[in-house]
């Protein structure tokens, strides 16, 4: 599932992110890769507006900020790994170290929900999360996410 949504260009590791707004801006920027493919400010606003409804920090150091935006033709994902963690108002109150952003057009609600469930399933695995946090570079993190 993630292999279909994630492009190696949209993965970053070893980031230092100061707060939730910076985290959302980072994810919005990555979701717009390759550069200029999508309007970054609009994507940020979509993620921020969804986040205002309830935190997408699902626990265990993971957040999945997401939203729907018709400026994209397909579902896409981005990953930011910040080992020091960022306060994200997660359900377990722990800092978030792995952010997986998802954005897709409004016309694909079922695929959007399936993507959220798929990402959640992958990141429930303690070994996957640990491997992501130890990834030496973006390519290593990408392989960790897309390989079984």
pLDDT at 147: 86
pLDDT at 3: 83
Integer CA distances (angstroms), 102 to 42, 71, 105, 126, 127, in order: 14, 13, 10, 21, 22
Provide the 10 A C-beta neighbour count for residue 84.
11
pTM: 0.94
Closest alpha carbon to 57 in 7, 2, 101: 101
pLDDT at 34: 80
Task: Tell me how many domains the chain contains.
Answer: 1
| Sign of the alpha-carbon torsion through 35, 128, 20, 45 | positive
Q: Dump pLDDT digits (tens) for 93-119.
A: 999 999 999 999 999 999 999 999 999
Contact between residue 29 and residue 52 where contact means Cβ atoms under 8 Å apart: no
Share of the chain above pLDDT 90, in %: 86
pLDDT at 123: 93
pLDDT at 112: 93
Residue 91, domain CATH:
3.40.930.10
Average confidence (pLDDT) over 63-81: 94
β-pairing, 6-12 vs 62-63, is unpaired
Which distant-in-sequence residues (6+ apart) come within 8 Å of 33 by Cβ? 7, 9, 10, 78
pLDDT at 73: 87
pLDDT score of 148 more than 80: no
pLDDT at 86: 97
pLDDT score of 71 more than 90: no
At 119, list the tokens: 């990402």
Parent domain of 81: 2-146
């Amino acid at each position: 599932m993630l292999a279909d949504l994630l492009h190696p260009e949209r993965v970053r590791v070893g980031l230092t992110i100061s707060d939730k707004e910076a985290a959302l801006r980072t994810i919005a920027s990555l979701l717009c890769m390759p550069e200029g493919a999508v309007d970054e400010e609009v994507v940020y606003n979509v993620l921020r507006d969804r986040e205002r409804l309830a935190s997408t920090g699902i626990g265990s150091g993971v957040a999945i900020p997401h939203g729907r935006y018709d400026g994209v033709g397909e579902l896409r994902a981005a990953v930011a790994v910040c080992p020091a963690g960022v306060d994200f108002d997660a359900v377990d109150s722990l800092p978030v170290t792995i952010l997986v952003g998802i954005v897709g057009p409004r016309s694909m609600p079922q695929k959007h929900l399936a993507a959220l469930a798929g990402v959640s399933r992958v990141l429930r695995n303690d070994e996957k999360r640990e491997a992501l946090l130890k990834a030496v570079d973006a390519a290593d993190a990408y392989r960790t996410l897309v390989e079984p």
